Every structure is written in C-alpha cells, then in structure tokens.
Amino acid sequence: MERLWMNARRDSTDGPENVDELFAEIVAGLERDGVGKDWLDLDEAGPDDARPAGPKARADEADIPPDVEEEPEPRDPADEDHYVPPEPPPLPVLRASTFAALGLFVLGILLLVAPGIFGLQSSVGTPLSLVALCAGVGWLILRMRNTPPPDSGWDDGAQV
C-alpha cells in the first residue's frame, strides 16, 4: 500500500489531471487488502437502511457465545474506589504584624468612605486613607514569604 502511495506521489508531476486515476488505484489497493468489506454501499442501501451497519449490528444470536451476557450489569458507584483527598492543612496563625497591616487597610477604607466618623473632612480624610491603604497593602506584600516553610523538609518541589 505504501509503495502504491509513494509511486502515486512520484507520478503526480502532471498536476491535477491524474488525481482521479491515482485515487482509483488507492481505493482498489484498499479493497484488495479487505478494507471496507463490512460496509454497505450507500447506493445499494434500501430505505430501511439509514446507516451502514457494522459487523456487530448484523450479528445473529447464534454468533454470541452462551457465557457472554447481552447487557452488562449496572455498576454501583459506591462499590468503586474513589480518590478521597486528604484534609486540607489548617490555616496558619496570624501574627500581630499581620493584624496591624489588616488594621491599616480597614482604617484606610473607613477614612475613604466615611471620614466624618473620625471628625475629618473629605479633603483631609482622602489623603490619609490613601496613605493608610498603601501602608497596609505594602506591609502585607513585604511580609509575604519567599522561601518554603521551615517544616517542609528537604524536597522543595520544582523551583525555577
């Protein structure tokens, strides 16, 4: 089959004129090899044959061995072993400096939304709120850990 295809590719210098002949040769080679024996020709199919039937669709009852069941038994999903993920690790304990950074963040939001709570006008409360928000966010970012936790062991995973 490969030889036929390679010859067809070498002979295809003429262009699209011999494409139909080459296709016919390839189909003939496939038919010699037995490809497509079980398929119905669409021209031969009657009105009750909507689709070509495969070999399983034409199997008789006599072809089925007696020890093979026709329908598989429905499986109970509870019988199968499913992956049960482990419990997630507990959240880390927040330190005092983390609480201070979150407090600055909340103070900044309060000064921005309602500066009257602290007896300030919005012209004074807005710059103070922006400073408090930036300080709280910056403090949280600077405290982010760039190394693995101390109890992680020797295997630190794939670090690039």
User: 1-5, 14-18, 29-33, 155-159 — which is least confidently predicted?
Assistant: 1-5
User: 26-30, 39-43, 125-129, 139-143 — which is least confidently predicted?
Assistant: 39-43
Per-residue pLDDT at 132 = 96
Q: Where are the domains of the chain?
A: 1-41, 96-142
Per-residue pLDDT at 78 = 64
132, with CB counted inside 10 A (0-12, 13-18, 19+), is buried
Q: Return the percent helix, strand and coil in the chain, to nearest 5.
A: 50, 0, 50
Question: Which strand (E) or helix (H) includes residue 32?
Answer: helix 19-33
Q: What does the pLDDT look like over 69-112, one tens digit per residue? A: 566 666 666 667 778 889 999 988 888 999 999 999 999 999 99
Apex 116 CA angle, 112 and 121, nearest 5: 75
How far from each other are the two terminal CA atoms of the chain, in whole angstroms? Answer: 49
- With a threshold of 0.95, does the pTM exceed it? no
Per-residue pLDDT at 62 = 55
Secondary structure (DSSP) of 128-139: HHHHHHHHHHHH
Q: What does the pLDDT look like over 117-155, one tens digit per residue? A: 999 999 999 999 999 999 999 999 998 877 766 777 777
Per-residue pLDDT at 11 = 52
Structure tokens at 83: 């992956």
